[in-house]
Amino acid sequence: MTWRTALTRRMPATRRARVLTAVGLVLVVLALAAIVTTSGGGGAAPVRSGQQRVEVAAGPGSPDRIGLDTTVYYPDTGAPAPAVLLGHGFGGNKSTVRAEAEGLARRGYVVMTWSARGFGASGGRIALDQPDYEVADARALVDWLAGRPEVLLDRPGDPRVGAAGVSYGGALALLLAAYDPRVDAVAPQWTWNDLGESLLPNAAGTGPATGVFKKMWAGVFFSSGASAAGGLGTDGPGAPGGQPPGAPADPADAAESVCGRFTAEVCAVYEEVARTGRPSDRAVELLRRASPASVADRLRVPALLIQGQNDSLFPLAEADRTARAVSANGFPVEVVWTAGGHDGGPQQSVLVRDKTVAWFDKWLASDEGARATEARRQGGGGAPVPAGPFSVTRLGGVDTSTREQVIRVAEGPRYPGTDGSTHLALPLAGPEQTVVNPPGGSPPSMSTLPGLGLLGALGQSGDASALGQLSLDMPGQSAFFMTQPLDRTLRITGGSTVRVRVSGAADIVLFAKLYDVDPGGGAVLPYQLAAPVRVVGAADGREVEIRLPEVDREIDAGHRLRLVLTTTDLGYATPAEPAAYRIAVVGPLTVPSVPGIKLPPPGYPWWTWGLPAIAAALAVVLVVTGKRRLKERAPIAALAEVPLRIQGLTKRYKGGKLAVDGLSCTVERGQVLGLLGPNGAGKTTALRMLMGLIHPDDGEIRIFGHIVTPGAPVLSRLGSFVEGPGFLPHLSGRDNLSLYWKATGRPAQDAHFEEALEIAGLGEALDRKVRTYSQGMRQRLAIAQAMLGLPDLLVLDEPTNGLDPPQIRAMRDVLIRYAANGRTVVVSSHLLAEVEQTCTHVVVMHRGRLVASGPVEEITGDGNTLAVGTPVPDRAVEVLSGMSGVASAVPEGEGVLVHLAGAEPSAVVAELVGAGVAVDRVTAKRRLEDAFLTLIGEQQ
């Protein structure tokens, strides 16, 4: 439906004209403002680029050479310009940072990008940013830049150069600055300070035995590196950015390995740790060599450190350690916490770009900044300086007009660190508790889903912190402690701490989580972060201070904080031996905050100058449409007894594809409605809109006269089972139903458990753990769950999946009885024969549109099929099986179903009567399957 139709349908002509004039005025104002805004920005400076293959040593002391595939972007400034080395993330190549490189070049920088060794069209093997490999490569690139006339030099052989990159490339920028004093400024993003601490948390400073192996993230790295031979996004040999024809082969490529293009040392270390689940001395030493932490005293360079809050791989503590090192060396630091990270979420590319450009403008493009850096180096760095400005992005809900996440940036003059500037001690309630580490660490609890952000499963989705609702703490493995409700709103900025006593084993691994719990019991684990803790020598008890993950989150007044300590986590390796531990809290939860960081007042958008005209025009529209809109959304008394009415329901997905296109239908009490359609017809999308899970783009759904919106009270009258059952496998079927009903907050007496349990028909299996159930048993339990509370409207998606024929028949009887008592059932199914026997009415969809609806007998009441009533159906089948013009005859109920292939109905009757077969009725009929295929075929 167009905006014109939506605003003006059923309006008198004069009023329609006024409304259209007003809307036109709004559009004109917006268009003029956009023209003024875009024309005032000026044109972008032109950029040219060139390909270059730079030869470097294959390894330390090796006479062999490998080629690095590079692209250099030059600004058309007419004078030598500062340079930036821009590295890519792990699994990428030079093409993945092309847009950022062109943007910096337009701002006046010579930008060099390259595919790191082992990636894209570059030779060599991946060494994880080792000093003798990737760092040596980057130093060779600085040498190359020093010989270019387009690059500004501070002295012969010393180019004015900065380094930037994300993740893998960010760590390389820091390491390059530590090993090559010619680097004048760095701006790494989402990277590590200590790779050993990142992949083996707790390993730093206390020996390798205390590390907890981050197995899933390590696996993501290994898998992407092992498949890097072809590169990601490369153009292939001979193409721009690819291996030139006739180039010498990389000597290392002859050695095939399950490790792909990793070096033998990296491969051996990964295989060892992955097999044992524990870090070794060799692994810790290798990872620390590739870490800025190993050269912290040499980080003598202005550093802009951009770290992601939604990052279980390189959390905020990694940037904090780097900031402390640079500040201690006497060099300036700026820290930015973005809302995104390796686990997905909003990425703030504009903020990152603007901060990076401003940093390089200050320390590279400015001669004053460059001289200040040089003076600090000549003076040995000077006394430690406090870290400079701090910015943190905060999510502010969803813009209702664009449906995009609103992100605001809070700023302060000084980076406070992850300890915060003020602290609040909150008592935790909860007795000493015993938790169990199950054999083999399975089934595990869950915090984050490592790697899914990189793979696009979370992508740019909304409030990344709300993803904590996916967290799972297995009963029996988890200890819980709770604060009292907060008497005021609290903003946590940094890492909270708590002191606990643990005992029971010489080697204890725990995962600490801090949940935000609302008054209704809903809990969110911010950014799904957990802190791994390994406690050695705790057989007789040991007190330890646990530092929880660093976050920036506002906790509303009335909410509580829940500390959870669990023995397993999906993303980590845990002890395989079963054991029981005792856990007690021996101190308060200490929460850090930074009151001095404030959000700026909302800015004024570009169209503000025209706001009076816009307001006047919109006022006309509101006067005309406002009352009508309110009236449309109000309950309709005439529909108070109508279970479901859908009108003009429309839903589009990205690219404008229509999933549901103008669907309309009405379902009355006592009906069992079958929703039919081939895959992709829009059935599940329609059901999800019916449940209030997604918004329609147009049209409406009313349940008992009330319009459906997310969380609408009328949804309490709807029970549903859509897109597969989800149960806690370690609980029994009975406990799962009980837990589900408790979560609704409704009284236990309203659940009608006995009726639901009778429907499930699981007998003694109700008291067995769900993980022992067959698919059919899970399906029956899911339908019983949907029927808890005996909802007036029951919606089931493929309810007979996994059921055997007797169970299908029992399910059919249940649904028919359920509707016969005055309730309504909507069933989506592919079993057309079952729908035909169960449903009273059907709705047929194809390509999002309604193609037929009505009683089953009307849909199937014509065609080439006869229903013949006879007391001797077997004899009738025998007579008709050899008759010309009859395709088949099968017993059905008290007669036979005859499928014609040219014979007339009168000839069929004559044949039966002539053979002595009594015929008491004949009706034209076709199977629902025939009708369905005919309807769908007509729409092709």
Per-domain residue ranges of the chain: 61-398, 422-593, 604-634, 637-857, 864-924
Render pLDDT for 336-359 as a digit per residue (tens, 0 to 9). 999 888 888 776 788 899 999 999
Q: Which CATH entry fits the domain spanning 422-593: 3.40.50.300, 2.40.110.10, 3.30.420.40, 2.60.120.260?
A: 2.60.120.260
Mean pLDDT of the 227-231 span = 46
Q: What pLDDT is stored for residue 612 in this prediction?
A: 56
Q: 423: pLDDT confidence band, cut at 50, 70 and 90?
A: very high
Q: Locate 70 and state its tokens.
A: 């590079």
pTM value surpassing 0.85: no
Q: What is the mean pLDDT of residues 536-559?
A: 92
pLDDT in tens, 437-454: 999 888 899 887 775 544
For 600, list phi and psi in degrees, rounded to 5: -70, 155
Instruction: Check residues 621 and 775 and name the one with the higher pLDDT.
Output: 775
Structure tokens at 571: 């993303």
The C-alpha atoms of residue 621 and residue 607 are separated, in whole angstroms, by 19
Q: Does residue 241 have a pLDDT over 50?
A: no
Instruction: Return the minimum-mean-pLDDT range out of 781-785, 797-801, 882-886.
Output: 797-801
Quickly tell me which residue has 């209704």 as its tokens: 520
Mean pLDDT, residues 699-721: 86
Region 52-81: mean pLDDT is: 93
Question: What distance separates the 2 farthest-apart alpha carbons in the chain?
Answer: 117
Pick the closest to residue 84 from 190, 191, 173, 174 (CA basis). Answer: 173
- pLDDT at residue number 391: 93
- What pLDDT is recorded for position 462? 38
Indicate the DSSP class of residue 252: G
Burial of residue 806 (CB within 10 Å: 0-12, 13-18, 19+) is: exposed
**Which of 64-78, 309-323, 726-740 shows the lowest mean pLDDT across its residues?**
726-740
Exposed / middle / buried, residue 861 (Cβ in 10 Å: 0-12, 13-18, 19+):
middle
Orientation angle between helical segments 733-744 and 775-787, nearest 10 degrees: 30
Residues 6+ apart with CB under 8 A from 882: none
Residue 401: pLDDT band (50, 70, 90) is: very low
Q: Name the pLDDT band for 2 (thresholds 50, 70, 90).
A: very low
**Calculated CA dihedral for residues 70, 374, 194, 537, nearest 10 degrees:** 170
Confidence band for 143, pLDDT divided at 50, 70 and 90: very high
pLDDT at residue 806, rounded to an integer: 76
Checking if the pLDDT of 14 tops 80, the result is no
Question: Looking at residue 1, what is its pLDDT?
Answer: 37
655, burial (CB in 10 Å: exposed 0-12, middle 13-18, buried 19+)? exposed
Q: Which of 264-273, 668-677, 737-746 has the lowest mean pLDDT?
A: 737-746
Architecture of domain 61-398: 3-Layer(aba) Sandwich (3.40)
Number of helices and strands (H, E) in the chain? 23, 37
Residue 232 has pLDDT above 50, yes or no: no
Enter the tokens of residue 871. 């007391």
pLDDT band with cut points at 50, 70 and 90 for residue 569: very high
pLDDT confidence bin for 656, thresholds 50/70/90: confident
> What whole-number percentage of the chain has pLDDT above 90?
42
Least confident of 32-46, 256-270, 363-377, 425-439: 32-46
Give the 3-state secondary structure of residue 44: coil
Confidence of residue 933 (pLDDT cuts 50, 70, 90): low
Identify which of 16-30, 443-457, 545-559 has the greatest average pLDDT: 545-559
pLDDT value of residue 895: 87
What percent of the chain is modeled with pLDDT above 70?
80
Least confident of 162-166, 915-919, 924-928: 924-928
- Beta carbons of 276 and 200 less than 8 angstroms apart: no
Report DSSP letters for 269-282, one per residue: HHHHHHHHSS--HH
Identical fold at 422-593 and 637-857? no
DSSP state of 567: S
Higher pLDDT, residue 11 or 184? 184
Dihedral angle sign, alpha carbons of residues 719, 725, 726, 732: positive
**Per residue in 404-426, is it b (16+ CB within 10 Å) or e — as a string?**
ebebebbebeebbbbbbbeeeeb
pLDDT 10s digits, 79-128: 999 999 999 999 899 999 999 999 999 999 999 999 999 999 999 999 99
For 690-702, give one letter per residue: b (16+ CB within 10 A) or e.
bbbeeebebbbbb
- CA-only gyration radius of the chain, Å: 34
Task: Give me 734's structure tokens.
Answer: 């009975």
Q: Which of 172-176, 394-398, 817-821 has the lowest mean pLDDT?
A: 394-398
| pLDDT at residue 599, rounded to an integer | 73
pLDDT tens digits for range 832-873: 777 888 888 988 888 888 888 888 877 765 557 788 889 999
What is residue 91's predicted lDDT score, i.e. its pLDDT? 87
Domain range 864-924, CATH architecture:
2-Layer Sandwich (3.30)
Q: How far is CA 701 from CA 603, 641, 706, 719, 831, in A?
A: 38, 15, 8, 16, 26
Q: Can you tell me whether residue 608 is helix, strand or coil?
A: helix
Mean of all residue pLDDT scores within the chain: 82
Question: What is the tens place of the pLDDT at every residue in 785-813?
Answer: 888 888 999 998 888 776 777 778 877 88
Q: Can you identify the CATH homologous superfamily of domain 637-857? A: P-loop containing nucleotide triphosphate hydrolases (3.40.50.300)
Residue type, 556: D
35 vs 691, residue with greater confidence: 691
Helices assigned H by DSSP within 634-774? 683-690, 733-744, 753-760
Tokens of 182: 């010619």
Mean of the pLDDT values across residues 502-507?
A: 92
Interatomic CA distance for residues 551 and 337, integer angstroms? 10
